[in-house]
Structure 1
Amino acid sequence: MAETVRSPWFLPVIYVGGLVFGLGLAISGMARPEVVLDFLQFEDFGLLFVMGGAAVVTGITFAIATRSLNRAPLTGSEYTRRLKDFDRNVLVGGGIFGVGWGLSGICPGAAYASIGIGNYPILWSIVGMFLGAYAQGYWRTLRAGDAADGVESTAD
């Protein structure tokens, strides 16, 4: 397998992309939890247009890039489909994400942009995201250890 070589522009482009994303969220108002909660309560459909516009731009970009380039320009990786099984983890994770989104009125990416517009109480939600991610990683590590112990004991 050939080793991929990242472009020296990889990290700068990632940071600029993050800044543009955050700026877009701030300008569109999607970094304000009350706007997101209004969307979730079917009172303001602005978020639908923001997400729809992003999906269209992403779809067109991927369609053109995967047809005209044989490798990703920044990473040098080959374009391949990455499929994930639709399993219990996807359902549980999606449910937790949805509940967190509904309670805080903000998703993880927009939470960081929200700090940029002065919404410092959102830091509690970010702490919750980090604690949840840590707990999930810890739980999966324990499960992987239990599975490995079970495999070893059956081999004896």
Structure 2
Amino acid sequence: MDLYVVRHAIAEERRPDLVDASRALTKSGRKRFARCVAGLERLELRFDRVLHSPWRRAAQTAELMTSLGRAIEPHEALAAPPSRGLLEVLGEAGETVAVVGHEPWLSELIAWLVVGEPADGDARFRMKKGGVAQLRGTPRPGRMQLRALLPPKLFLE
């Protein structure tokens, strides 16, 4: 399996009057991530599924990926620390799958899949907003290899 781990694009800043799950992408965040998607299109990537956190900014990021995926759908497990349930879903999701979510949970997921244990907030694999990591292998602890960690800046130049 090829798993692409995508951090949501640049979103509104946190505010006391705004629920975190409701924060939307900024205009700049949309524009920058659209360029990232264009870069992924140039690599001829196509996803069997794009799973995303139900939080607004992750859903909006996934929507920008419609040209890359056959099925785009929310999954509650991507709005929480990584779990065995998420690994089961990934194991049945297809050969080429993208997940869109949030830090620090994405870094923890990558560490768990590559090293065999979650990083517990220790960002071994720091994900920039709009960044993409490619993993290959079986979605089980310690059974995947990190193939690429692509910062969004790579697609903007």
Q: TM-score range by the shorter chain?
A: under 0.3
Whichever structure has more strand as a proportion of its residues is 2
Larger Rg: 1
Whichever structure has more helix as a proportion of its residues is 1
